[in-house]
Amino acid sequence: MDISLQQVGYLYGKDTPFEKRALHGVEATIPSGSYTAIIGHTGSGKSTLLMHLNGLLKPSEGIVKVGDVAIHAKTKGKELREIRRHVGIVFQFPEHQLFEETVLKDIMFGPLNFGVSEEVAEKRAYELIKLLGLPEDVASKSPFDLSGGQMRRVAIAGVLAFNPSILILDEPTAGLDPRGRKEIMELFHYLHKKENLTTILVTHSMDDAARYADHVIVMHDGTSVMTGSPTEIFGNEEQLLAYRLGLPKTVKFQRDIEKLIDRSLPE
């Protein structure tokens, strides 16, 4: 399922004294099956944009197309809910949303509420426990007795329990140490391949974008300023490799692109 954005604009608090423009004229395509990174400064519109990709927000202007479904300012709730079945979002610190008595119940909660049978939901939950590298005996444990890394994996399993074809990751490594970051990014890379997911990574880490993505969208001041393959965005093969390997970057790169990206934040 391709996603396309055509002249998308968004205003928070539209027609109120607090009206604030967050997006304008966004043009982008996210090809089906791609691993797309959306990179940009804090405040450049990344989070607002991703909420348009699963129907949490409707554009004030323009059209967002997810497969055959077009979302615009007048789209009704029913169509938005339809999109949410196909598009899963892993928000920052997803483990904060765990609440059930056991890991198994937590992973099954969403599908059961969507009318999936107990048998099917349970089978998928055990499959995900395995897929995410969790020990099988976590199923009967309280999610709150697990380590931080395991809790995050359980929360990710809860999103995958819906069998989404598109998975959106909003700064998924926030708050993790370098080892935890690498583990979770490798896990998403594995899931991207194994589950045939279209993966959309929202990040301010250009190193992660260079390492994992095959398509990049650069956001700046509420609009898409560059889109393309990693080599197009990062300059050339050598430049891309420098990023992947953590080598010093060239002046050209800093001048052309780093000014668009906020690297001052802790990663």
Residues 47, 75, 102, 142: which binds ligand ADP (CB under 6 A)? 47
State the amino acid at position 198 in one-letter form.
T
Give the Cα separation of 72 and 241 in Å (integer). Answer: 39
Binding to ligand ADP (CB under 6 A) within 196-225 occurs at none
Q: Which of residues 12-41 bind ligand ADP (CB under 6 A)?
A: 12, 20, 22, 40
Of 5, 28, 30, 46, the residue at the interface with ligand ADP (CB under 6 A) is: 46
Q: Which is nearer to ligand ADP, 147 or 264 (by Cβ)? A: 264
CA–CA separation, 1 vs 160, rounded Å?
Answer: 17
Find the shortest distance in angstroms from Cβ 7 to ligand ADP.
17
Do 182 and 244 form a contact (C-beta atoms < 8 A)? no
- Looking at beta carbons only, is 91 or 109 nearer to ligand ADP? 91
Q: Where are the beta strands (DSSP E) in 34-126?
A: 35-40, 61-66, 69-71, 87-90
Q: Please pick, from the candidates 48, 173, 205, 239, the single residue that binds ligand ADP as defined by CB under 6 A.
A: 48
Three-state secondary structure along 112-171?
Answer: HHCCCCHHHHHHHHHHHHHHCCCCHHHHHCCHHHCCHHHHHHHHHHHHHCCCCCEEEEEC
- Residue whose CB is less far from ligand ADP, 27 or 100: 27
Cβ atoms of 106 and 100 within 8 Å: the answer is: yes
Closest approach of ligand ADP to the CB of residue 218, in Å: 11
Which listed residue (25, 33, 43, 110) binds ligand ADP by CB under 6 A? Answer: 43
52: contact with ligand ADP by CB under 6 A: no
Residues that bind ligand ADP (CB under 6 A): 12, 20, 22, 40, 42-48
